[in-house]
Amino acid sequence: MKKILVTVPCDEEYRQSLRESAPDYEFEFSDRATATAEQISSACIILGNVPASRISCSPELRWLQLSSSGADAYVKEGILSPDTILTSSTGAYGKAVAEHLFAVTLSLMKKLHLYRDKQHEHCWADMGYVSSLADATVLVVGTGDIGLAYAKLCKLMGARVIGVRRRPGGLPEYMDEIHLASELDGLLPEADIVASFLPGSRETNGLFSIDRLMKMKPGAFFVNGGRGNVVSPNDLLLALHEGIIAGAGVDVFETEPLPAGHPLWDEPRLIVTPHVAGDDHLEETFDNVRRIILENLRAYLNGGELKSVVDRSSGYCV
């Protein structure tokens, strides 16, 4: 009997829904950390993430449905067989990640991180001028589910919101302008906030180099809730240390965890969070993930259209 390996957390009610949707399959339930090589290699369908290095082009695997929105670890050559379908849980994380990065943005603009530092020092100090999102220009680079959710929050606060995307398309709701990635350099000097929600791919690797960060408006802030490969820690450190940008908020890094000895930890104008904007920290996020997985399973087994199919050449969903 063909096997389905499930590594997404699920209760008995959800397990029963999966079994009812695929009565001709044998189910095995594990988690990302403890799934065995035998379980991975014998499954023709995997629902949830497993370590990419342990897949090794499994000959049985026909479809991998990720519980994450990011798929960069799985699009690398030598991980999946060419005929294996890869889908992600894009659409599940918009609210959680957008609210996290929005909170970080406001903290930077109101200097709340600096006041927290002073609190630890037991120091009653005025940290000076702050800025406002009302009438600020926010450049959202990456207009997927998360980027659009972030744009909405900024727009409701009175910001002018500009989006940057890979392909031409209509003007999304809560955005004042939409531009192509090729226009990024000309847009950076306009923005008070530059927010990246890009996936990890060859074309996004190092996108926010020190040369590009230098194109930003003096006093602007940079936040990253997409993938850490878009900016190197050393380039970000230089931009902060030299005052090229006023501050940054980063939830993702090129190397994770950020090494304990890296000087970014001590940079006062940087807010670091340890890749926690998404995952299951907001309870409803994994409800969304489980819904997407169940809907895609039913579609896969009944010849329907799968949602969030990943284009392995770009790392984006089709």
Domains belonging to the chain, first-starting first, are: 3-92+282-301 (3.40.50.720), 94-272 (3.40.50.720)
Amino acid at 38: E
SS3 category, 137: strand
Give me the sign of the Cα torsion angle 145, 184, 174, 170: negative
Please check the confidence at residue 298 and state whether its pLDDT lies above 90: yes
Mean pLDDT of 243-253: 98
Do residues 236 and 95 make contact, with C-beta atoms less than 8 angstroms apart?
no
The whole-model pTM stands at 0.94
Please check the confidence at residue 318 and state whether its pLDDT lies above 80: no
Do residues 148 and 124 make contact, with C-beta atoms less than 8 angstroms apart?
no
Question: 40-76, pLDDT tens digit by residue?
Answer: 999 999 999 999 989 987 889 999 999 999 999 999 8
Mean pLDDT of the chain, nearest integer: 95
Q: Smallest Cα–Cα separation from 273: which of 52, 33, 102?
A: 102
CA angle (216, 258, 229) in 5-degree steps: 50
Residue 314 pLDDT grade (very low, low, confident, very high; cuts 50, 70, 90): confident
Q: How far apart are CA 234 and CA 12, in angstroms?
A: 47
Helices (H) and strands (E) in the chain, counts: 9, 12
Q: Smallest Cα–Cα separation from 207: which of 232, 190, 176, 189?
A: 232
- Residues near 211 by beta carbon (within 8 Å), at least 6 away in sequence: none
Residue 176 token pair: 């004042």
- Residues written for the chain: 318
- Residues near 2 by beta carbon (within 8 Å), at least 6 away in sequence: 24, 25, 26, 44, 45
Do residues 296 and 4 make contact, with C-beta atoms less than 8 angstroms apart?
no
Please check the confidence at residue 247 and state whether its pLDDT lies above 80: yes
Question: 95-124, pLDDT tens digit by residue?
Answer: 999 999 999 999 999 999 999 999 999 999
pLDDT of residue 241: 95
